[in-house]
A and B are shown apart, each in its own frame.
Chain A
Amino acid sequence: MTLFRAEWSRMGTYALLLALAHLGGLIFLSRMVDLGQQNLAVHWSFGATYALVGGLLGFAQFATYARPNPWLSLIHRPRSELAIAMALLGAGWLVLVLIVPLPIALTALWQETLTARVVDTRHWLLALAAWQIAACAYCCGVFAALAPRRFAAIGIVLLFWLINARATGGSMLVVQCLVLTWSAWMVAALFKANRERPRKLAVVAIAMPLAMATYFAALVAFAAVELIWIAWGTHPNNGGPPPGGHNEVEKATSQDRMLAALASSEHPDAPLLAEQVKLSAPVSIGSSLSRLPQWFELANVSPMEFDDERSGVRYVFSHDDGRLHGYRIRDGAAVGTVPHQFQHPPLPFGRLPGMRDGDAALVARGRVYHFESESGQVSLRVDLGDEALVSMAPVGEAYVALSDRALYVFDARPFIATLDVVAPRARLPLPGKYGDLSNLDLIELVDGHLLVATFGRLAHDALGAPPYQTAQVLRSDGTVDDIHRRAMSYDFGWLYRYQAVWLSPGLYTLRERAKYLFAGPSLESTAPAPVPHAVWALAMVLGLLAVLLTLWRLHANNGLRRWPWIVASGLFGLPMLIALWLIELDSETRP
């Protein structure tokens, strides 16, 4: 407790100043914008700032103890090492409570009590999330101060996990909690007199991030080689891409993509369709959403608000009651709640035919709603069931909607003439996985639409499907004519595409699993091609090499110490071998 108090008094003044600065910043920003409705990028910026503050605090706090003499005087107290560690870490975490979540909570309290802005439970939880991020980084900073320089920076791997995790809301808090636990475990592993060697069982806490960091470093090195390759001028992305490949199609205009899909077709209609493409101005349907909004998510895919400019009211969605709450833009006074309760969180989403001034379209997963300014009512206009609508755009005079599973064609008239749910005139199931879709181009025909889908978004990566194009005619009566399916060639060899796999299949799998841990539905689903045998063969050779080198490296150790490393090297390959090397390096230098 004395140590805790001493630490608190050492950092208290700075912490108070930082907390005031943080509170001032939040108040200033809240005067200008509704911080609760900012998008993911803004949240990331705040998270990065909190991580930086936490990391620097941890490093600065422990750097003073990390020299040999202060460390010995710290560690040799009549208390257990872990109790000392908890006193120091506890003081640091408490300081972070003062700096990070307290100003956030005070700002939320102000917004909740003195403004008409929406403050949901998720906004209160942001304070906890911010603290967990700062605390994780704090532990990583502490680890960096205590660990030998050769692996002091590996905490960054855990912070990357936070950035890449697809979990949201409460699930993300659990992921953060896991990361915090792991980072604290890393600190505990070294919180002992000899910081060169981790505690025996806790070596896992350092070995896994270290192996992952080595794995990432190797991938970064590959990327650096690729940059040199690009600078050299022989990379497939230099100048004109290789003919027949997916890069060529992705860099082409919509018209050329469609012509490429038809060029080798033997369908009797193909020449006529190609002529029509040449004369048309094709429309490319892009995705308006990269991620789907989730209930009680802490951040926002994009701001969950829209302005009714006709009446000067801003409507904000509340996750707590599933309704839109309005306040006047001019003076911020509340104007009430729209009665409709949404089944999924809605986002503003372009415009529908027949909308008047002030009206807004809202998409909530597979449903599109029409907010009518004049009546203040919300009407369901499109219902695609459990599919996720990602884009809706006019094509000629019709409207085309793209979901994660199909493309729909709607007539414009029913949107204008009624307020009922509008049934699509035709549906075309996507001839592939949405996550692989790189382009969807179409033109209107006399009796329907010609659609060319290009699947090759991740063709450069192990996750992607083999690149191909499909040309289909979706008739007005809903029938589909398959005109052509054209396989495109890879622009990169398997060695390049599967570098993340053959380097370490185990770490690759772990990385992907960690990314989607506790995550909700995703738009990133792909249909990966089977991994080539050559990749497996290379991975096995590298794994075997790692095992042999581990055996050689640990030939002097007994079985109990040796076998876990051998198994780990077998599972995770060369990166784990390097981790072993770095952790065990001191044994070579010891007399």
Chain B
Amino acid sequence: MKLLIPMAFCCLTSTALAMPPRSEFLARAQVSAVTMSPDGESVAWLAEEGPRRAVWLRKLDGSAPRRAMAHTPARELSFTRDGRWLLLAAPTQVFALAVGGQGGSGLLTQLAERSEWRVDFSQDAAITLIAPSDRSAQRWQLQRFAVGGRTELLHSNSHRISGYALAANGQLRWLQRVEDRALVLYRVDAERSMHRVLRCGELLRCSPVFDNAGELILRSNSTDGDALGLARLVRVDGDGKIEPLARDPRGEADIDFVSVDATGRPRVAGYRSTVAQIAAIEPRDRRAVLYLQRAFPGSALRPQIAAARWLIEERQSARAFARWHLFDPKTLRISPLMDERSDASPMRLLKQPYAWTASDGMRLHGFLTVPAGETRLLPLVVVAHGGPWSHWQPTYNGLAQFIASRGAVVFEPNHRGSTGHGHAYMTAANGDYGNGRVQRDIDEGVRSVLEGGIGDPARVAIVGASFGGYAALLGVTFAPELYRAAVAFVPPPDFAWTLKWVLRNAESTNLDSVVPMADWLQMLKLDVRDEVHMARLRGQSPLANIHRLTRPVLIVAGGSDERVGIAGIIEYAARARLADKDVTVLIDHDAGHRQRDDVAREASLYLLEEMLHRHLKMPMPEPPAPHLRNYIDTMRAAKSELDPAEK
């Protein structure tokens, strides 16, 4: 492995800190969905107020914020183009709240499953909605709902509608449909005739973003002209001719988001796979974007572009909560708007990108968080991500920060199969999610870090949640010489069975993309109907190889997990107990895939700390409060020597 980072890495990233309490890592954001009106004169946000969520509104003329609605189920906020209506979107409905002094607030539309809505930038106050016409989804409709009650059918078809772009006059100009598992893009002429323009094959995306006077701005990850298949913006004319528009300047990240102005025109692209950066799409914004990058070095920025000013959301990898600023692109003046937790002590352990080359030559990406100390002597904890179709970003990761705050180097690998680094990167796993290529990527990344003089090879542990937990179990089962211990949160001990299991259940409908989950799994070379492949994955699973386990394992699971069947974890624990393995299992029978209860979350952190203290000689954790001890004792399913209280 090639050493890719300097030995003095620690000095760039960290300063000595006292160990923050666990409670620091349990705090939740109380403010969300901060959004700016198109004229830039108002800002609205959602605030958690005890059991309720309220809508707040603030005029930027010096007025004090006011609570516009005391109780809402909404999770998203958007202003209409004219700024007179604030749209409150909950999972099942969109509500229009009058904020321009007029009356008429009310339900705009119900949202059925699989429906998608967005603000219609061609109208003063309207949204567009893609939804199946009924539950059987024999037909799909694209409709416009104007505030006030007028509804207009823009298109209806038996094929699923997956994208569209409207002309400035509100007419449907571009339409994308799902045909035979591919996305097919059509140009719609004035007579509403459709002309096929592009076909994006399996796992390729070509999402319409904006109609620029007959020319379409498209988000694409096609490998035509881009060997990595990075998600990027391109221009498409009516004949299907493609020209590049915006791509990661570093050539390693997908576009993470696109900021549009009040007409829907994309102005700024954001990248967050290795280094958080934003880039101007049009020359007129280059100066402003450059200024922002310099003003907030190392921060992940997300601008909202309004006529008078921009709203900037700032996130740091070492800080749990976002900050919001107002920015005048003409004067380049930045003024603070909101800081939810200005009193919170920052962790100050910055995350740095780290790249290594796998044994087959593929360049892989990840992140390192290095605390103060002699780097060679620090314990190293690998935190594998879930999914596996997701990726670590250069933003705050509470688990990584918690471990780093206890004095360990944290390595967050984005193994092949991860998203965020292009189509080729994601598909390179080739379905090898057992003790195979993907797991080797993680192991080789760890060895690369160790060879770089970071971390003590005798004090390495692997931690993860969901697929990351599976990777942790795989690592400790098949590479005990590398990992001293594993901590797995909600892990599938048999990935093949878990895929089959989830496909049978309600959760799979949440995981369906524009094509059903079974189809996109097949495109990712994970065909659950391929018995040979499934048998191979099963044969390589931690569940089938528990007899090889020689290292201690801690598993924390939810008994009502809708994504990872608890039966797999229970069988793993039962087999471990019969084989007298050092496996401790904590099952909260009321918890799902995501643990939302603060006591349970703190219990997870405490047990993780305890495990790392015991096996990696990290600091002894602060003793649990009685309620925490009681919870742990109640939930513990398989006992071991892990916990001193067991002795």
Residues of A within 8 A of B (CB): 271-272, 275-276, 278-281, 353-354, 372, 374-375, 396-398, 411-413, 415-419, 425, 443-447
**Interchain CA distance A353-B501 in the complex, whole Å:** 16
| Other-chain contact of A418, B136, B559, B562, B637 (Cβ < 8 Å) | B136
In the complex formed, the residue of A with least CB distance to B498 is A446
**Interchain CA distance A425-B568 in the complex, whole Å:** 19
| Other-chain contact of B503, A281, A354, A375, A413 (Cβ < 8 Å) | A413
| Other-chain contact of B505, A271, A275, A397 (Cβ < 8 Å) | A397
| Other-chain contact of B565, A279, A353, A397 (Cβ < 8 Å) | A397
Among A372, A398, A411, A413, chain B packs the most CB atoms within 10 A around the CB of A413
Taking CB atoms, residues of chain B closer than 8 Å to A353 are 506
Measured CB to CB, the closest approach of chain B to A271, in angstroms, equals 6
Contact with A along B493-509 (1 / 0, CB 8 A): 01001000111111111
In the complex, the answer to whether B562 meets A397 with C-beta atoms within 8 Å is yes
**Interchain CA distance A413-B511 in the complex, whole Å:** 11
Q: Which of B559-578 contact A (CB under 8 A)?
A: 559, 562, 565-568, 570-571, 573-575, 577-578
Measured CB to CB, the closest approach of chain B to A524, in angstroms, equals 35
| Other-chain contact of B573, A279, A411, A447 (Cβ < 8 Å) | A279
| Other-chain contact of A445, B135, B559, B571 (Cβ < 8 Å) | B571
In the complex, the answer to whether A416 meets B509 with C-beta atoms within 8 Å is yes
Taking CB atoms, residues of chain A closer than 8 Å to B578 are 271-272, 275
Residues of B within 8 A of A (CB): 113, 134-136, 494, 497, 501-509, 516, 543, 559, 562, 565-568, 570-571, 573-575, 577-578, 585, 587, 589, 637-638
Taking CB atoms, residues of chain A closer than 8 Å to B565 are 396-397, 444, 446
Measured CB to CB, the closest approach of chain A to B568, in angstroms, equals 5
**Interchain CA distance A271-B573 in the complex, whole Å:** 13
Measured CB to CB, the closest approach of chain A to B432, in angstroms, equals 22
**Interchain CA distance A276-B578 in the complex, whole Å:** 11
In the complex, the answer to whether B570 meets A279 with C-beta atoms within 8 Å is yes
In the complex formed, the residue of B with least CB distance to A448 is B567
User: What's the A-B contact tally at a CB cutoff of 8 Å?
Assistant: 84
**Interchain CA distance A28-B502 in the complex, whole Å:** 53
Taking CB atoms, residues of chain B closer than 8 Å to A354 are 135, 506, 509
In the complex, the answer to whether B574 meets A279 with C-beta atoms within 8 Å is yes
**Interchain CA distance A413-B136 in the complex, whole Å:** 13
**Interchain CA distance A281-B497 in the complex, whole Å:** 20
| Other-chain contact of A397, B506, B543, B570 (Cβ < 8 Å) | B506
In the complex, the answer to whether A446 meets B543 with C-beta atoms within 8 Å is yes
Q: Give 15 A-B pairs besides A354-B509, A397-B505 with Cβ atoms closer than 8 angstroms.
A: A271-B578, A272-B578, A275-B574, A279-B573, A279-B574, A279-B587, A279-B638, A281-B589, A398-B505, A413-B503, A418-B135, A446-B497, A446-B543, A446-B571, A447-B497
In the complex formed, the residue of B with least CB distance to A353 is B506
Taking CB atoms, residues of chain A closer than 8 Å to B587 are 279
In the complex formed, the residue of B with least CB distance to A375 is B134
Taking CB atoms, residues of chain B closer than 8 Å to A281 are 559, 589
Taking CB atoms, residues of chain A closer than 8 Å to B585 are 279
In the complex, the answer to whether A276 meets B570 with C-beta atoms within 8 Å is yes
Measured CB to CB, the closest approach of chain A to B577, in angstroms, equals 6
In the complex, the answer to whether A280 meets B136 with C-beta atoms within 8 Å is no
**Interchain CA distance A269-B501 in the complex, whole Å:** 22
Assuming the contacts A275-B577, A279-B574, asked whether A446 and B504 have C-beta atoms less than 8 A apart, the reply is no
In the complex, the answer to whether B135 meets A419 with C-beta atoms within 8 Å is yes
**Interchain CA distance A375-B132 in the complex, whole Å:** 14
Which 4 pairs between the two chains have the least Cβ-Cβ distance?
Answer: A275-B574, A397-B505, A411-B504, A412-B506
**Interchain CA distance A354-B508 in the complex, whole Å:** 12
In the complex, the answer to whether A446 meets B568 with C-beta atoms within 8 Å is yes
**Interchain CA distance A88-B506 in the complex, whole Å:** 69
Taking CB atoms, residues of chain A closer than 8 Å to B113 are 416
In the complex, the answer to whether B571 meets A413 with C-beta atoms within 8 Å is no
Among B135, B562, B573, B578, chain A packs the most CB atoms within 10 A around the CB of B135
Taking CB atoms, residues of chain B closer than 8 Å to A415 are 506
In the complex formed, the residue of A with least CB distance to B518 is A413
**20 A-B residue pairs with CB within 8 Å:** A272-B571, A272-B575, A276-B567, A276-B574, A279-B573, A279-B585, A279-B637, A281-B589, A354-B135, A374-B134, A396-B565, A397-B505, A397-B507, A411-B504, A413-B504, A413-B505, A416-B506, A446-B497, A446-B567, A446-B571
Taking CB atoms, residues of chain A closer than 8 Å to B134 are 374-375
Taking CB atoms, residues of chain B closer than 8 Å to A279 are 570, 573-574, 585, 587, 637-638
In the complex formed, the residue of A with least CB distance to B576 is A275
In the complex formed, the residue of A with least CB distance to B135 is A419
In the complex, the answer to whether B504 meets A444 with C-beta atoms within 8 Å is no
Measured CB to CB, the closest approach of chain A to B136, in angstroms, equals 5
Assuming the contacts A279-B573, A279-B587, A446-B571, asked whether A396 and B566 have C-beta atoms less than 8 A apart, the reply is yes
